[in-house]
């Protein structure tokens, strides 16, 4: 069952929500964050990307970075830019992007369920990033950014959410990127109890986005449990900030690849080699319209690649992913990209940046770009259910959850 906890959020003072809410920490580099937060003292980037308030030569994992995050968070509370909910509550968070709407329930998700794989994962985490987020949670003493979870949709929950969103929201604004964000506070005891009871029928949750945030929250919970003289399993550290969306509302975008060189091959030799595994033809189409096919931009020309029969195992949920097909049949054997996590010759471009970005990168000197058909949410859940792991950079979720709209303190519930 999915065990949820209501909590007293810190959230923006009404009227400041559009200035406080920021993109998550991991979609901007430090230079981009400095530019975005320039002139905006309210931006939550000062908490999730606190290096922007320190000299540029300070390392991202320097002690001063975490101290600054805590200082900035406390400052936002003391200045009453962030206000505390009076009673433990749940929240509904709706996002609308290009006409697509998704509504998630904001709650504390169970660390115990994460540890026991009732909250399922589909990616490995990197130790340095996990260490970073663990320290950030510990020093700020709060879950500053939510984990994006999904579950198999249930009609009863959909109906309850639809009913609750007929009331007036606490926030409703459109961010500079055109995405609309709307938040409802659910504080009525009966409504909170109803939602918590309904989610007990959900047997599995899935981490859609935020593997490092969820892993670090679990580490914080385990560490604090060990030092607690009276652990109950229901302490504030036994839960972490999450937004739970029904699977049929989610949109996964393509996650594309750019490679810096052709691994010593000339153009004709490269094209000849890929015909062993793919049908290749020039095309005016930049994006694939079906699974198992790929767009390729090379020397100013777009090609369509279609995987040949026998190049992948259709019964294996990982092997049949398009990212796996491209990696196993082209990137590794032909371009020599053995480990895409660490190889500096490959880069990944989220679909939100569009095909123009792939063309721009190649036109400015990189060798070749590949556009991929998006991974489906059903594929993600099948892999997690099988206890397997996706290749890196398999999914790009949009819209991204804003940080700073709902913050969960670890000081009390």
Average pLDDT on 77-94 reads 98
Q: What letter would DSSP give residue 168?
A: P
* Residue count (the chain): 413
Tokens found for residue 136: 């950030």
What contacts 392, CB < 8 A, 6 or more positions away?
A: 123, 124, 340, 341, 348
Average pLDDT on 15-20 reads 98
Residue 118 DSSP SS3: coil
Q: What letter would DSSP give residue 311?
A: S
What contacts 19, CB < 8 A, 6 or more positions away?
A: 12, 40, 42, 43
Query: 236, exposed or middle or buried, with CB in 10 Å at 0-12, 13-18, 19+?
Result: buried
- Residue 177's DSSP bridge partners are none
Which pTM does this prediction carry? 0.91
Return phi, psi of residue 97, to 5°: -135, 120
Return phi, psi of residue 143, to 5°: -85, 105
**Percent over 70 (pLDDT), the chain:** 100
Model confidence pLDDT, tens digit, residues 152-162: 999 999 999 99
What contacts 77, CB < 8 A, 6 or more positions away?
A: 10, 84
What DSSP element (H or E) covers 326?
Answer: helix 322-326
Distance CA(324)–CA(294), nearest Å, equals: 12
Q: What's the confidence (pLDDT) of residue 380?
A: 94
**Percent over 90 (pLDDT), the chain:** 92
Q: What's the confidence (pLDDT) of residue 173?
A: 98
Q: What's the confidence (pLDDT) of residue 1?
A: 82
Rg of the Cα atoms in the chain: 22
Q: What's the confidence (pLDDT) of residue 407?
A: 98
What contacts 92, CB < 8 A, 6 or more positions away?
A: 103, 104, 105, 106, 161, 164, 165, 183, 184, 186
Q: What letter would DSSP give residue 27?
A: G
Distance CA(242)–CA(116), nearest Å, equals: 17
Rounded (5°) CA angle 287-293-296: 55
Tokens 């981009």 belong to which residue?
32
Query: 146, exposed or middle or buried, with CB in 10 Å at 0-12, 13-18, 19+?
Result: buried
CATH 3.30.1760.10 residue window(s) in the chain: 253-393
Model confidence pLDDT, tens digit, residues 101-113: 999 999 999 999 9
CA-based nearest residue to 145, from 412, 402, 396, 395: 402
Average pLDDT on 378-388 reads 93
Q: Which CATH number fits domain 253-393: 3.40.50.2000, 3.40.1390.10, 3.30.1760.10, 3.40.190.10?
A: 3.30.1760.10
Q: Chain-centre distance of CA 266, in angstroms?
A: 38
What contacts 190, CB < 8 A, 6 or more positions away?
A: none
- Residue 39's region, left for phi above 0, alpha for psi from -120 to 50, else beta, is left
Average pLDDT on 130-138 reads 96
Residue-averaged pLDDT of the chain: 95
Contact 404, 20 (CB under 8 A): yes
pLDDT above 70 (res 413): no
Q: What letter would DSSP give residue 407?
A: B
pLDDT above 90 (res 341): no
Q: How confident is the model at residue 283 (pLDDT cuts 50, 70, 90)?
A: very high
Q: What's the confidence (pLDDT) of residue 392?
A: 82
């Amino acid at each position: 069952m999915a065990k949820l906890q209501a909590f007293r959020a810190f959230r923006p003072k009404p009227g400041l929500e559009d200035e406080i809410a920021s993109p998550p920490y991991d979609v901007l580099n430090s230079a981009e964050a400095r530019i975005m937060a320039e002139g905006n003292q309210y931006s939550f980037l000062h908490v999730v990307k606190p290096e922007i308030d320190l000299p540029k030569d300070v390392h991202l994992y320097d002690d001063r970075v975490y101290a600054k995050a805590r200082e900035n968070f406390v400052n936002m509370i003391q200045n009453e830019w962030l206000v505390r909910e009076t009673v433990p509550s749940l929240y509904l968070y709706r996002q609308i992007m290009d006409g697509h709407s998704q509504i998630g329930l904001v709650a504390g998700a169970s660390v115990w369920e994460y540890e026991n794989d009732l909250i399922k994962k589909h990616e490995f985490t990197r130790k340095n990033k996990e260490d970073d987020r663990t320290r950030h949670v510990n020093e700020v003493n709060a879950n500053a950014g939510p984990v994006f979870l999904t579950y198999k949709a249930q009609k009863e929950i959909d109906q309850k959410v639809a009913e609750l969103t007929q009331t007036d929201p606490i926030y409703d604004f459109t961010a500079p990127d055109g995405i609309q964000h709307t938040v409802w506070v659910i504080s009525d005891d009966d409504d909170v109890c109803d939602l918590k009871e309904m989610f007990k029928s959900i047997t599995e949750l899935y981490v859609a986005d935020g593997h490092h945030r969820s892993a670090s929250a679990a580490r914080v919970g385990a560490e604090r449990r060990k030092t607690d003289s009276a652990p109950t399993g229901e302490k504030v550290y036994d839960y972490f900030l999450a937004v739970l969306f029904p699977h049929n509302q989610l949109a996964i975008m393509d996650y594309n690849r750019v490679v810096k060189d052709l691994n010593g091959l000339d153009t004709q030799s490269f094209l000849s080699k890929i015909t062993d595994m793919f049908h290749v033809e020039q095309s005016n189409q930049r994006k694939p319209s079906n699974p198992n096919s790929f767009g390729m931009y090379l020397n100013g020309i777009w090609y369509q690649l279609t995987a040949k029969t026998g190049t992948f195992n259709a019964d294996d949920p990982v092997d049949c992913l398009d990212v796996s097909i491209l990696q196993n049949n082209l990137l590794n054997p032909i371009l020599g990209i053995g480990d895409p996590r660490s190889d500096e010759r490959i880069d990944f471009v989220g679909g939100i940046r569009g095909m123009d970005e792939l063309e721009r990168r190649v036109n400015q000197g990189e060798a070749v770009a590949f556009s991929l058909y998006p991974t489906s949410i059903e594929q993600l859940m099948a892999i997690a259910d099988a206890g397997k792991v996706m290749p890196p950079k398999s999914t790009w979720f949009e819209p991204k959850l804003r940080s700073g709209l709902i913050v969960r303190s670890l000081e009390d519930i």
